[in-house]
Amino acid sequence: MINVTQPSIGAEELAAITAVFDSKWLGSGPRTEEFEGLFARHLGVPAENVLFLNSATSALFLAVELLGIGPGDDVVMPSNGFVANASAVVAAGGRPVFCDIDEHHLNPSVADVLAALTPRTRAVMVLHYGGYPGDVDKIAALCAERGIALIEDAAVSIASSVRGQMCGTFGDLGIWSLDSRKVITTGDGGVLYARDPAVAQRARRLSYHGLDDRSSFTTATKSQHVWWSFQIEDIGRRLVGNDITAAIGTVQLGKLAGFVERRRAIGQRYDKALGGFSGIRLPPPLPEGHRSTHYFYCVRFDSQAIRDGVSEDLLANGIYTSYRYYPLHRVRRYGATDTVLPVTDAVSDTSLLLPAHQSLLDDEVDMIAQQVLAAVEARL
């Protein structure tokens, strides 16, 4: 089976894990701190503002908590996002308010966000669909002007940027995912960035039971007596990453540029093979100054029937496809099933994600493209 997503891991990652085992310290420790520093350097932000956590979902829930979102608060977000986006808000007692998206880059425009703002809006949450930055710079300016917090779900946008500024750093809080299906992986893991150093410091406490230090080793170096004593200001949970996963992440981060370049080449190969066929709509070119991780290769068809038929034909030939993300305004639990989002609905009913991970061979990309063309032609 050819997968939509797939990690690229091997001997170097195993060697890094072995080194952690040999150190006899597996929890959050020196390798976690090293990885946070490297990730911060990649983003171009201070290391103390970056936290390595056990998942991006934990980071999203923590971000909502850090902003104090609760009953009576609205958070505007696109409906074509991951379930954790809305669940983090609902779990805190807030209300997700879903906005529509641009039909080309599949991210909300400023106009889409403006149309969804309410008098109770406390925050806007955007994601960069498939790695496309979208209008994040303009939305950040809008939020700053209105005094509204901005959370960036940059889960799949670890290498995406706008005019040199990394996605995830435009808002008050940014989140990246490092789970097993992302461009680089730590197995499970996520990163949280807080622009305000005080917020980052509080996030660090909340991510480890409200304690200032993640290990008694650190505390012991600060005090000669009863270093095991503590006081807490915040009631926290255990959300931290560990040195095993951080060691994997350090190796993977060193491979990121090569992974992204390969994904870009795969997208270009699909463009060449599928371009010019009237029944298939390809991803748009990136605007000047925008860079992408090329996480998704999303194609659109003339109807839902064609899309569904193509996916079934490809699956029968050992090619797994999917569509992300199922529209959240259709999920009854979020209480927004009467929301009208025409672009989101049209896109979700006619789009398909083709395999686009960096391990794909050129021959596999060509074969997938041929299968797509044949499946569409059979239904015209």
CATH number, domain of 289, equals: 3.90.1150.10
Mean pLDDT, rounded, for 155-183: 98
What is the pLDDT at residue 228?
75
Same domain, 263 and 221: no
Same domain, 213 and 179: yes
Mean pLDDT, rounded, for 14-22: 98
What is the pLDDT at residue 226?
72
Neighbour order of strands in the sheet with 173-177 = 50-53, 190-194, 173-177, 149-153, 121-127, 74-78, 95-99
210 within 8 A of 235, measured Cβ to Cβ: yes
Mean pLDDT, rounded, for 165-177: 98
What is the pLDDT at residue 222?
56
* Residue 136 belongs to some domain of the structure: yes
Residue-averaged pLDDT of the chain: 96
194 within 8 A of 200, measured Cβ to Cβ: yes
Pick the catalytic residue: 24, 138, 182, 255?
A: 182
Parallel, antiparallel or unpaired: strands 280-281 and 297-301: antiparallel
With a cut of 60, say whether residue 208 has pLDDT above it. Answer: yes
With a cut of 80, say whether residue 214 has pLDDT above it. Answer: no
Q: For the chain, percent helix, then strand, then coil, each to nearest 5?
A: 45, 15, 40
What is the pLDDT at residue 223?
55
Same domain, 199 and 267: no
pTM summary value? 0.95
Task: Give residue 109's pLDDT band: very low, low, confident or very high (50, 70, 90).
Answer: very high
Of the residues 199, 221, 252, the one at which a domain ends: 252
Same domain, 30 and 142: yes
Same domain, 237 and 323: no
Give the chain's domain count: 2
Task: Give residue 261's pLDDT band: very low, low, confident or very high (50, 70, 90).
Answer: very high
Helices then strands, each counted (H, E), the chain? 12, 13
**Burial, 136: exposed, middle or buried (Cβ in 10 Å; 0-12, 13-18, 19+)?**
buried
With a cut of 80, say whether residue 215 has pLDDT above it. Answer: no
The model's pLDDT over 61-89, given as tens digits with 9 standing for 90+, comes to 999 999 999 999 999 999 999 999 999 99
| Domain enclosing residue 280, as ranges | 256-377
Mean pLDDT, rounded, for 223-245: 85
Mean pLDDT, rounded, for 93-110: 98
Same domain, 190 and 289: no
Residue 182 among the catalytic residues: yes
What is the pLDDT at residue 314?
98
With a cut of 70, say whether residue 139 has pLDDT above it. Answer: yes
CB-side exposure of 360: number of CA atoms within 13 Å?
33
Cα separation, 369 vs 371, whole angstroms: 5
With a cut of 70, say whether residue 225 has pLDDT above it. Answer: no
Same domain, 173 and 276: no
What is the pLDDT at residue 232?
87
Task: Give residue 230's pLDDT band: very low, low, confident or very high (50, 70, 90).
Answer: confident
Mean pLDDT, rounded, for 286-307: 98
